[in-house]
């Protein structure tokens, strides 16, 4: 069962970014399913690594547009990204140390963070991106 579902309420009105958000949601759902199914450390470790690298890549893409378009909330938005990357990194090292009791909380953190971030922060750049011709 999916932990998060993408719907129009999560759209930032930029097709490429909506696609990246959908992929992130898929990856969080995959991680949640792998954990619920009690998959091995190796499979879960790879899933986490995939999520981390895709997340970094996605944040970088957004940030390139912030810089290019002179987006006004660039600094605070970049800080949110950095805090999330750090948090997921902590989760990964906890997992590698065998700290599996974090599982349910961590999955809730990931899914809540992503949805709140898209709704509260990403949607704020929609108008700026659209004005600069990105749709």
CB of 107 to Fe ion, least distance (A): 20
Question: Which residues form the interface with Fe ion (CB under 5 A)?
Answer: 62, 122
CB of 12 to Fe ion, least distance (A): 9
Residue with tokens 């790879």: 46
Residue closer to Fe ion by CB (options 25, 122) is 122
Residue 134, C-beta contacts closer than 8 angstroms, at least 6 positions apart: 14, 16, 65
Closest-approach residue to Fe ion (CB): 122
Residue closer to Fe ion by CB (options 39, 117) is 117
Residue 95, C-beta contacts closer than 8 angstroms, at least 6 positions apart: 41, 44, 45, 48, 102
Residue 29, C-beta contacts closer than 8 angstroms, at least 6 positions apart: 2, 3, 4
Residue closer to Fe ion by CB (options 39, 123) is 123
Give the sign of the dihedral formed by CA 11, CA 15, CA 21, CA 24. positive
CB of 17 to Fe ion, least distance (A): 9
| Structure token pair of residue 75 | 């600094």
Residue closer to Fe ion by CB (options 92, 123) is 123
CB of 69 to Fe ion, least distance (A): 14
């Amino acid at each position: 069962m999916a932990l998060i579902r993408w719907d129009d309420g999560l759209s930032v009105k930029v097709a490429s970014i909506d696609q990246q958000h959908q992929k992130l949601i898929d990856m969080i759902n995959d991680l949640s399913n792998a954990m619920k199914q009690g998959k091995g450390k190796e499979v879960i470790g790879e899933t986490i690594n995939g999520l981390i690298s895709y997340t970094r890549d996605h944040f970088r893409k957004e940030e390139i547009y912030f810089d290019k378009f002179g987006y006004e909330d660039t600094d605070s938005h970049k800080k949110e990204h950095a805090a999330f990357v750090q948090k997921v990194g902590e989760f990964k090292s906890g997992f590698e140390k065998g700290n599996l009791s974090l599982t349910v909380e961590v999955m809730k953190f990931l899914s809540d963070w992503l949805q709140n971030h898209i709704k509260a922060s990403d949607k704020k750049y929609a108008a700026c991106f659209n004005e600069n011709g990105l749709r």
